[in-house]
Amino acid sequence: MALEPKTVTCQCGAEYRIRRPVHYCTACGRAVFYSEGYRRRDRLNNYYVYLAVAVVIGFVVYIFIEMIADPLLKM
């Protein structure tokens, strides 16, 4: 998705002319966003990933407790 070229400045002071929604700074490695909307979308996507990982870990713990730990404790 090509956007109009825009000059953005990273927090470390490096300037980039970007055409994509996100670019990674070569000096410090941080993400540099084309606009605030793309930064917000990236943050929400990260929250969804964290939530999915937490749900999977909770499900694995639940299965472990129900299938392995509970029968061993009832012996």
CA distance between the termini of the chain:
61
What is the domain count for the chain? Answer: 2
pLDDT of 19 reads: 92
Q: Cα–Cα distance between 31 and 14 in angstroms, integer?
A: 12
Assess whether 51 and 19 both reside in one domain: no
8 near 34, Cβ under 8 Å? yes
Assess whether 22 and 39 both reside in one domain: no
Assess whether 39 and 63 both reside in one domain: yes
What's the predicted TM-score (pTM) here?
A: 0.69
pLDDT of 75 reads: 74
pLDDT of 1 reads: 61
Assess whether 47 and 11 both reside in one domain: no
pLDDT of 68 reads: 86
Domain membership of residue 58 as a residue range: 35-75
29 near 49, Cβ under 8 Å? no
32 near 25, Cβ under 8 Å? yes
pLDDT of 3 reads: 86
Reference 34, options 10, 52, 66, 69; nearest CA is: 10
**Below-50 pLDDT ranges, the chain:** none
